[in-house]
């Protein structure tokens, strides 16, 4: 069973690598096919955000356990410009440009836990968790 995997995100191609890693880990843990796709899609969204807005970053995918349940944790980090108004960015339907459409609020719906830490000039860290049902 794969343990933590860290994928550098620099080129578009890395988006696929990251989401594949997430899918494989989820599959190994016994997640349903539907949940695997939800996770892979979420990773795809945040990975693309890194490529589009920060240019460079990393996505780490690993296993996590709580109260007897297994889950996947995804930590996406970048040293990009950061999000100036997080509340605004998290509002459904908000878009800063042609690329960021459903991004953050939509992504939140795909996972069980979603945490975002960001500040202008200080980069962004998005942490996602998805638990086995």
- Residues forming contacts to other proteins in the complex (CB under 8 A) are 3-4, 12-13, 15-16, 19, 23, 33-34, 36-38, 40-41, 44-45, 48, 60, 62-69, 73, 75, 92, 99, 101-103, 105-107, 109-110
Distance CA 33, CA 35 (A): 5
Report, in Å, the least distance between residue 101 CB and other proteins. Answer: 5
Nearer CB in complex with other proteins: 39/120: 39
Closest among 107, 118, 127 to 60, alpha carbons compared = 127
Report, in Å, the least distance between residue 114 CB and other proteins. Answer: 13
Nearer CB in complex with other proteins: 33/120: 33
Report, in Å, the least distance between residue 133 CB and other proteins. Answer: 9
């Amino acid at each position: 069973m794969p343990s933590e995997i860290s994928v550098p995100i620099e080129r578009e191609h890395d988006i696929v690598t990251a989401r594949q890693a997430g899918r494989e880990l989820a599959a190994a843990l016994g997640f349903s096919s539907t949940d695997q796709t939800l996770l892979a899609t979420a990773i795809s969204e945040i990975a693309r955000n890194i490529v589009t807005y920060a240019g460079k970053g990393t996505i780490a995918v690993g296993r996590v356990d709580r109260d007897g349940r297994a889950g996947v944790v995804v930590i996406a980090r970048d040293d990009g410009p950061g999000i100036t108004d997080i509340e605004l960015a998290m509002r459904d339907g908000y878009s800063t440009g042609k690329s960021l459409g459903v991004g953050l609020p939509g992504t939140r719906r795909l996972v069980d836990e979603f945490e975002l830490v960001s500040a202008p000039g200080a980069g962004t860290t998005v942490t996602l968790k998805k638990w086995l049902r």
